Structure 1
Amino acid sequence: MICKRISDGSVAVTAEEPDDLLTLRRVIDRDDRVVSDTTRVIKLDREYARPDSGQRVRIRIALDVERVGLDYRLDRLRIQGVIAESNNEAVPRRSHHSLVIKPNDSFTLTKRTWSGLHRSLLKSSQGGAGFVLVAIDTGDCGIGRLKGTHLHTIPNIYSGYSGKRYKSSFKIEGFFDEVRVALASMVKKNDVVIIFGPGQTKNRLANHLQASRLGKGHRILVTEGVDSSGEDGLYTFTKSDSMREAISESKLARVSSIIDEIMTLASKKSARFAMGIEETKRAGRLGAVDSLVFSEKLLQETDEDAAIGLINEVQAQGAKTYSVDSSTDAGLRVDGLGGVVALLRFSVS
């Protein structure tokens, strides 16, 4: 997320990733003011115009927030409220409107009071390196970008290699060039490229990329332990020990370790963890939560405002909070555990 302070109470925000929308959902409250460009149907007021006809025009409005909601399936944040100001005289003040914020959209947020939690959430969402994963073999290549705990993939790239060397005029350098072009469209500043897969193709691709412009601007790592390529290889990597070794400081690695520790505690019948919304609420009221992991299931199947309130409350107490989704194995595991799990500082009976 890109944030720029405008004044003591206002910040210009640009959401870059789906995770940024969740951060904004946790920051924006009722009675805040959002200034953004949007479209609205302006009714025609002419003598022979049909009563229901109108023209959709682009306007800039200041919206006093009444309600905020997430749509995980479409990666959208919906902000509803009443129009306080507009640059178009045909738009009446105090009329209701709904803004839809998507990745790469920009707006200005004004709050009467910025809490330490709000500032911390915006600060932690800025910058940070991502990881571009490449699962390659001679036949195909899968590419995905891992930012936070969200994995975004593109369709597999196929080499057309037949496997019959004595009949084939196949040149693997052409395949590598296709992969390099696809990588160039995904990789961002400070990203690390991690290459894996069966055989020696991964090493040859790494050498090919090192000699290119992409290799001069980004760190390229080759890791062992994953013997699958394509999209299957990407998902295999995200739940492997190789992932934890290669990107041990990433959010996904930390989340995977927390889930594994909770499962170990469960097998020992320890009370130093919580599963599900009710157990987690009880632990949160006691200030017992050390780390909390939640998935989109928590927000979809419970009251969203109550879920956001719980997450913000435990983080304000000093707990670490992590969101996961179904794009990774960690998200699917948390879904199966009720949508939220927590590692506790002390046992809660």
Structure 2
Amino acid sequence: MLRLKILEADEKKGVYKILVEDEEDLWALRNILREGDLVEAVTTREVKPGEGGESRRFPMVLRVRVKDVEFQPFTDRLRIRGVVVEGPDKFGVVGKHHTLSIKPGDTVVFVEKELDDFSRRFIETYSRKRRILVVALDYDEVCISLVSEQGVKAVREYYTNLPGKDAVEEYEESVRRMVEQVVEEVVEYSRSLRVDGVIVGSPGFLKDEVVARLKSRGLDKPLFADSVSYGGCKGVDEILRRGGEKNVVRELNITAAVKYFEEFKETVTRDPEQVAYGLENVAKAVEPNAVRVLLVSSRLLWSGGEGVDPNAVVLEAFKKRAEVYIVPPDSNIAPELEGFGGIVALLRFRLPLG
């Protein structure tokens, strides 16, 4: 799932310091921001320093009481509009309106934030990090690392010691054995470390051979191939610097959401009482704990809906341990999902909803 990188948290004081790493984090923030929240961030503001002086834009840290939040899909900006409640005295900005423009790489601080139940469950769910096995190899080195909540740990690292290429048959046989050894190790570590997915990176085609062999071995984990300049732990670092593990986590969620949406479409024609769609019907299904899987469009959450509160429906689904997937606008299934009212559910038992 998505993850929020919480640098500091003091629940008693309501202080949460969050590093925004990418657009998905901006989207997650949008889901926990509420009108009236106090938010602090580094920003710039145009100020006229003195009478007759020219206006200039100065960097400063401002604390704003939120009035409105806007996030446009496919952009890398979250606009938080509000009134300044704290800032540098010399600029006289307190009491004036200001917009914080938050982008990836920025740090946002919630101050005196009382987390409602929805925000608390949202943070608890999306701050969890998947366990990803990252493998980088070339003809000289192999490195297998585990990426988890505790960081990055190399669990296996070694030189291949392949013979020279002059003895062609011996060299090719040694490469084959090396690939087979890597496959065996990946299968074993995937099971023993209970990973959620595997990335295999290499220069050239070695990664494709390893992935193909892993598939033929029936490894029941999502597999992803990536190109790197080097094998060994240097290659693992390269994958992580590019955010490879976050792409895998996102892909894992999208893959799961697509799988469940296909199941929904097949079930809605075959056994319509085993599914629900549209906000009102899904809300009715959530109430008796009938929802097993819920897919909701982020657009529906942003809009707030009419009548039934979508956030309340999602929160109730969380409480009742349904699997919940929030589908971003750039997902392939987003347009079809919107056609079903932006929210669909697979049910635990048949429920006639009319």
Partner of 2:45: 40
In 2: Cα distance, 1:207 partner to 1:95 partner: 49
Cα-to-partner distance string for 1:162-181 (whole Å, 9 max, x where unaligned): xxxxxxxxxxxxxxxxxxxx
Partner of 2:261: 259
Q: Which of the numbers 291, 297, 300 marks the counterpart of 1:298?
A: 300
Partner of 2:28: 23
Contact 1:20 1:125 in 2 (8 A): no
In 2: Cα distance, 1:105 partner to 1:60 partner: 12
Partner of 1:95: 96
1:15 Cα deviation after fit: 1.7
In 2: Cα distance, 1:254 partner to 1:108 partner: 32
Partner of 1:80: 81
**Cα distance change, pair 200–36 in 1 and its aligned pair in 2 (3 A):** closer
**Cα distance change, pair 281–212 in 1 and its aligned pair in 2 (3 A):** same
Partner of 1:159: none
In 2: Cα distance, 1:92 partner to 1:217 partner: 47
Partner of 1:146: none
Name whichever of 56-65 and 95-104 sits farther off: 95-104
* 3-state DSSP of counterpart to 1:341: strand
In the alignment of these two chains, the number of paired residues is 262
Gaps of 5+ in 2: 135-195, 212-224, 240-246
**Cα distance change, pair 71–208 in 1 and its aligned pair in 2 (3 A):** closer
1:72 Cα deviation after fit: 1.5
Partner of 2:340: 337
**Cα distance change, pair 61–288 in 1 and its aligned pair in 2 (3 A):** same
Contact 2:294 2:325 in 1 (8 A): yes
**Cα distance change, pair 23–266 in 1 and its aligned pair in 2 (3 A):** same
**Cα distance change, pair 112–3 in 1 and its aligned pair in 2 (3 A):** closer
* 3-state DSSP of counterpart to 1:128: coil
What pairs with 1:123-272 in structure 2 (closer than 5 Å)?
A: 123-126=124-127, 128-129=129-130, 192-193=198-199, 202-203=208-209, 212-213=231-232, 217=236, 250-272=252-274
Contact 1:18 1:75 in 2 (8 A): yes
Partner of 2:275: 273
* 3-state DSSP of counterpart to 2:259: helix
In 1: Cα distance, 2:20 partner to 2:285 partner: 32
Letter in 2 for 1:22: W
Q: CA RMSD in A?
A: 4.1
| TM-score between the two structures when normalised by the length of structure 1 | 0.61
In 2: Cα distance, 1:208 partner to 1:56 partner: 43
1:30 Cα deviation after fit: 2.3
Cα-to-partner distance string for 1:291-313 (whole Å, 9 max, x where unaligned): 22123443577649944444334
Q: Which of the numbers 13, 19, 37 marks the counterpart of 1:14?
A: 19
In 2: Cα distance, 1:42 partner to 1:207 partner: 48
1:287 Cα deviation after fit: 4.8
1:82 Cα deviation after fit: 1.3
**Cα distance change, pair 33–54 in 1 and its aligned pair in 2 (3 A):** same
In 1: Cα distance, 2:328 partner to 2:25 partner: 13
Cα-to-partner distance string for 1:108-161 (whole Å, 9 max, x where unaligned): 11244234543332233236249899xxxxxxxxxxxxxxxxxxxxxxxxxxxx
* 3-state DSSP of counterpart to 2:79: strand
* 3-state DSSP of counterpart to 1:265: helix
1:34 Cα deviation after fit: 0.9
**Cα distance change, pair 110–345 in 1 and its aligned pair in 2 (3 A):** farther
**Cα distance change, pair 301–216 in 1 and its aligned pair in 2 (3 A):** closer
| TM-score between the two structures when normalised by the length of structure 2 | 0.60
Contact 1:295 1:325 in 2 (8 A): yes
In 1: Cα distance, 2:207 partner to 2:15 partner: 51
Cα-to-partner distance string for 1:166-225 (whole Å, 9 max, x where unaligned): xxxxxxxxxxxxxxxxxxxxxxxx984258xxx99932897996961357638x9xxxxx
In 1: Cα distance, 2:343 partner to 2:50 partner: 53
Contact 1:325 1:332 in 2 (8 A): no
Letter in 1 for 2:343: V
**Cα distance change, pair 273–75 in 1 and its aligned pair in 2 (3 A):** farther
